[in-house]
Amino acid sequence: MGLPGSGKTWLASRLAAETGALYISSDRLRKKLGLCGNYSDAGREAVYREMMRCMEEGMMLHRDMVLDASFHRKAARREFQEAVGSREKTFFIEVRADEALVRERLKKPRADSEADFEVYRKIRTGWESPEFPHLVLVSTDDNIDELLAKAADYLPLKR
C-alpha cells in the first residue's frame, strides 16, 4: 500500500516476479475495466471489487499473491483482511517516498497508471494510517534491491 508515486508498483511487480506470486494490480484492473483516470469513490470501489474477485480466485488455487493498490482507507484494508479470514495470512507493506521525488516520478508516463500529483494530493489527504503491524519501506530511485530483500525477509512467500 502507499500513495501514487511512492514506488509501491515498482516493488510489488518485482516482488511478485521474483517469488512467483500472482500479481494483482489496481492500475491494470482500472485500465481493464475502462476506468482510466477514474479515482472517484465509485471507480475505486469497482476496482477493489475486481481485485477481490481475483484474490479469491488466487486463494482457491492456493497461490501466494501480491496485491498492488493504495489501500489508503481502513475500510478497504479491513474488507480484504476479512475476505481472507483465517484461511490465509495477510501481510501489508507500506511504501513511502519523499514528496519531491514523488512529484518527479508522477511527471513521467507510466505503463498502467495515469495518476498525477493532484491524485497524489487527493489520496494523501484521505490517507488513514494502518492501526496494525506492517512493514514500512522508504523508496528512493536506487534502493530496489534493498527493498526487495527487506520485503522478502518480512514475507513467508514460497520461493
Does residue 105 surpass a pLDDT of 60? yes
By percentage, how much of the chain surpasses pLDDT 70? 98
pLDDT of residue 53: 97
List, for residues 13-70, the tens digit of each pLDDT value: 999 999 899 999 999 999 999 998 788 889 999 999 999 999 999 999 999 999 999 9
pLDDT band at 77 (very low <50, low <70, confident <90, very high): very high
24: left (phi over 0), alpha (psi -120 to 50) or beta: beta
pLDDT of residue 16: 94
How does the average pLDDT of the chain come out, rounded? 92
Task: Give the residue-averaged pLDDT of 133-155.
Answer: 94
Helices 99-107 and 117-125: angle between axes, nearest 10 degrees: 140
Cα Rg, the chain, nearest whole Å:
15
Cell of 148: 526487495
Domains of the chain by start residue, with CATH: 8-154 (3.40.50.300)
Bridge partners of residue 25, in order along the sequence: 68
Backbone angles phi, psi at 142, to 5 degrees: -140, 30
Does residue 157 surpass a pLDDT of 70? no
Task: Give the residue-averaged pLDDT of 83-112.
Answer: 92
Does residue 159 surpass a pLDDT of 60? no
pLDDT of residue 36: 84
pLDDT of residue 155: 87
Opening angle at CA 149, ends 93 and 71, nearest 5: 15
Does residue 158 surpass a pLDDT of 60? no
Does residue 125 surpass a pLDDT of 80? yes
Q: Which helix (H) or strand (E) holds 36?
A: none
Distance CA 156, CA 17 (A): 15
Q: Which amino acid is at 85?
A: G
**Dihedral sign from CA coordinates of 99, 103, 105, 106:** positive
